[in-house]
Amino acid sequence: MTLIFRVNITGLCIGLFFFLTIPEGFCQEKINPIYTFSLENLYADNDSICKYPVESPSANSSILFNPDDETIRFRIPGYDEGVPFHSNTFLVIDLEHDNAASLVVSLEFIRKGDAVNKYGWLEPRVSARIGVLPSLPTRVIFPLSYLNAQKVFLPKVPRQLKGTLSGKRLDVKDVDEVCLRFKNANSRSFPQRAFIQGIYLYNEMPPLLPVQEKPMVDSLGQWNARSWKGKSESFNHFKDKMNEAEKTFAEEEWPTDRSEYMGFSSLQFDSTGFFHTHHDGNRWWLVDPSGYAYLSVAPTGVRAFSHGPVEKNEDLFEWLPPNKGLYSKAYAKQNGLMSLSFTTINLIRLWGNDFMVKWQEYTANLIRSLGFTGSANWSDAVFYQNAGLPYFYPMRSLPTTKIKLFRDFPDIFAPEFDASVMNYASQLESKKDDPLMIGYFLGNEPHWAFGEFNLAREMMYKNGQTFSRKKFIDWLRLKYDSDPILLSLAWEYEFIDFGDLQFFILPKDDDISTKAENDLLEFSVIMVDKYAKTICEATKKADPNHLNLGLRFAWISSSACLQTGKYFDVFSMNGYSFPDPPNTQRVVDELEKPVIIGEFHFGAIDRGLPATGLKGVRSQKARGMAYRHYVEQGFARPEIVGLHYFQWNDQPLTGRFDGENYNIGIVDVTSQPYEEMARLIKKTNERLFLVATGKVKPYRRTPRTIPAIYY
């Protein structure tokens, strides 16, 4: 199916799909769009579009889009019409849907002149995927300045859920069309339709939508519109369930086959007083401070908090407690907006002033009951110290510089970078003598590694007199014997002097000489090596006792990721794969080091949230089955020493700080474990040593997947 309508915009051709003028009184403030896409020029070649007017739940009229194929494309060739359009303009789409699950909106920006791929369609240069809650009028906002691909996540705006961006830099003037899709539209599991109420261009942030008359979230932080097994029907119901759970988990005893640090008491190596690594000839192990073999299976984010923005979203909540007294402990400022944790509010209402002490006891007992060997990244520091559990330290604020070479990759040859490294490493000084600390993660999912990028080439797209560019020029001067003619022949550009490179901007198309590309790749290796070596030498000097666990890469996107690994004690990466952990053989082959998978999860929509996260299954039992298969297959590999489930708490219905609202928790917003999943987690965690030593075969049974709903 193809929709086409033509729009005149200064120097730009944009493809979009629908239009409707703003209904009178729709906006709370009088800020007019600079362009409204016209219905009169819209047509479709099948019946997936029900044209104006169609009554929607919250607007005078709208367009009903009921797609039957996720590959639907919407194209618009455009002509100059004198619209005051520029890179700081906002593309705005007003829509609403009444589907059972969140809608995943995809915006795809096609570059002029790009040819169709082998499948016969144009690949987008830049793509964004944005989440929209069910039954909530939402203003989807995309700042066109983000087409420069320097950021991975879109800014959080009220009601709109998380927005992520992928692709390579694209100038606004080079956009040929914009396509809109619904990513989960072709799934029988989640039939989709949406009411499109308008598409606009604004030259400033558009106003908010009208206040909702019916709130979405009840007084316990649960979804009003849905019932499910385990839902607390009232505060008293919640209180009764928690009292029963407290007694149940308090009766659990610590495993008798574990050391005081949760190591396996049947296998002992040398003791150093701190966690370290050891290869026994068959597999890698972590070794606890007492010398016992240890494997880390743990949840991330074990905290009594799960915040989500409430400021500018107040109408979505049935009840908001006052931000004062004990309730103020549930509030926090995040990204400039006031946020609230209903997880915390529920605990305060239940236990009063002692809520943190009581929560720590309750949670430690639950973790013990489930057979976990500690807590993983981003867990509460007071909790793991009081519980006596091994833990991981997530280092804060990776070293940086004011000027970035690409995304978050700093100007690594600047004196400013070295100073930042020293300040960064100093945070370990207070941790260096703690035997409970397994090690430290340097950071999490650096954005420069989201994709395979030539970092030096990205640096040369900017006209910046950086220290790294100067170092590159000196390197080229040495390589080409200070002869600009040799450089000109190799790069196929005319350089009078090497100093010309200080202001040279690479063209933004893909056509540069092979020798230029190779030079840039070779210097990228030097840049990445300098980055990792400087940081790791400083952290090891500040803390010689604990393990350097690396950067928790989102995935091994390029050889640059592995290149940093030669300075780590353990290579870490996150692994949202199904059914097994991601391939880690490259780490073994190239680095000969153990591996920690820092994140994985499985979600469903059979309970109180409308999104699954990065991997979806049908039910809470299926989540437990998926956990069993993933973890046991993982620890059957000799290089894997840690598998960390993301995360302990469910995310808020209306989204956390960035808009994620996934059913990925081991416990829900009322701190109750998902019983079916918890039972299967316990079975696997109690047999890890047998699996790791080959005494039993790993669990091998994969549940049916459903299309993942994530943003």
Enter the DSSP assignment of 648: S
Average of pLDDT values for 164-177?
89
Q: What is the pLDDT of residue 15?
A: 31
| Mean pLDDT rounded to a whole number for the chain | 90
Enter the DSSP assignment of 254: P
Query: What would the pLDDT profile of 662-688 be if each residue is shown by its tens digit?
Result: 999 999 999 999 999 999 999 999 999
251 or 67: whose pLDDT is higher? 251
Residue 385, pLDDT > 60, answer: yes
Which of 515, 529, 533, 525 lies closest to 479, judged by CA? 515
58 or 540: whose pLDDT is higher? 540
Q: What is the pLDDT of residue 509?
A: 64
**44-75 burial, b for 16+ CB within 10 Å, e for fewer?**
beeebbeebebebebbeebbbbebeebebbbb
Query: What would the pLDDT profile of 599-647 be if each residue is shown by its tens digit?
Result: 999 999 999 999 999 999 999 999 999 999 999 999 999 999 999 999 9
Q: What is the pLDDT of residue 390?
A: 97
Output the six-digit token pair for 671.
């701190």
Average of pLDDT values for 117-145?
91
Integer Cα distance of 666 and 673 in angstroms: 6
Average of pLDDT values for 403-411?
96
* Domains recognised in the chain with CATH numbers: 2-202 (2.60.120), 404-547 (no CATH)
CB of 330 closer than 8 Å to CB of 299: no
N-term to C-term CA, the chain: 25
Band of residue 47 on the pLDDT scale cut at 50, 70, 90: low
Bridge partners (DSSP) listed for residue 392: 439
Residue 455, pLDDT > 60, answer: yes
Q: What is the pLDDT of residue 583?
A: 97
Phi, psi of 699 (to 5 degrees): -55, 135
Which of 344, 372, 377, 371 lies closest to 358, judged by CA? 344
Q: What is the pLDDT of residue 204?
A: 93
Output the six-digit token pair for 194.
């949406």
CB of 677 closer than 8 Å to CB of 703: no
Integer Cα distance of 46 and 36 in angstroms: 24
- 402 Cβ contact list (under 8 Å, min separation 6): 416
Average of pLDDT values for 589-595?
97
Query: What would the pLDDT profile of 104-120 be if each residue is shown by its tens digit?
Result: 999 999 898 888 777 77
CB of 635 closer than 8 Å to CB of 295: yes
Band of residue 181 on the pLDDT scale cut at 50, 70, 90: confident
Bridge partners (DSSP) listed for residue 64: 50, 195
Q: What is the pLDDT of residue 58?
A: 65
Bridge partners (DSSP) listed for residue 75: 4
- Give SS3 for 386: helix
Q: What is the pLDDT of residue 74?
A: 44
Residue 365, pLDDT > 60, answer: yes
Output the six-digit token pair for 359.
């929560």
Integer Cα distance of 349 and 245 in angstroms: 17
Distances, alpha carbon 120 to alpha carbons 70, 113, 562, in Å: 15, 15, 35
Band of residue 68 on the pLDDT scale cut at 50, 70, 90: low
Q: What is the pLDDT of residue 175?
A: 85
Residue 562, pLDDT > 90, answer: yes
- Give SS3 for 679: helix
Q: What is the pLDDT of residue 29?
A: 55
Band of residue 193 on the pLDDT scale cut at 50, 70, 90: confident
Q: What is the pLDDT of residue 62?
A: 72
Q: Residue 235, by phi and psi: left (phi above 0), alpha (psi -120 to 50) or beta?
A: alpha
Residue 339, pLDDT > 60, answer: yes
Integer Cα distance of 691 and 643 in angstroms: 14
CB of 416 closer than 8 Å to CB of 403: no
Query: What would the pLDDT profile of 436-449 be if each residue is shown by its tens digit?
Result: 999 999 999 999 99
Q: Measure the CA dihedral 215/219/221/225, to 10°.
A: -40
Which of 100, 193, 202 lies closest to 142, judged by CA? 202
Integer Cα distance of 114 and 462 in angstroms: 23
Most confident range (mean pLDDT) of 91-100, 177-186, 311-320 is 311-320
Integer Cα distance of 368 and 366 in angstroms: 5
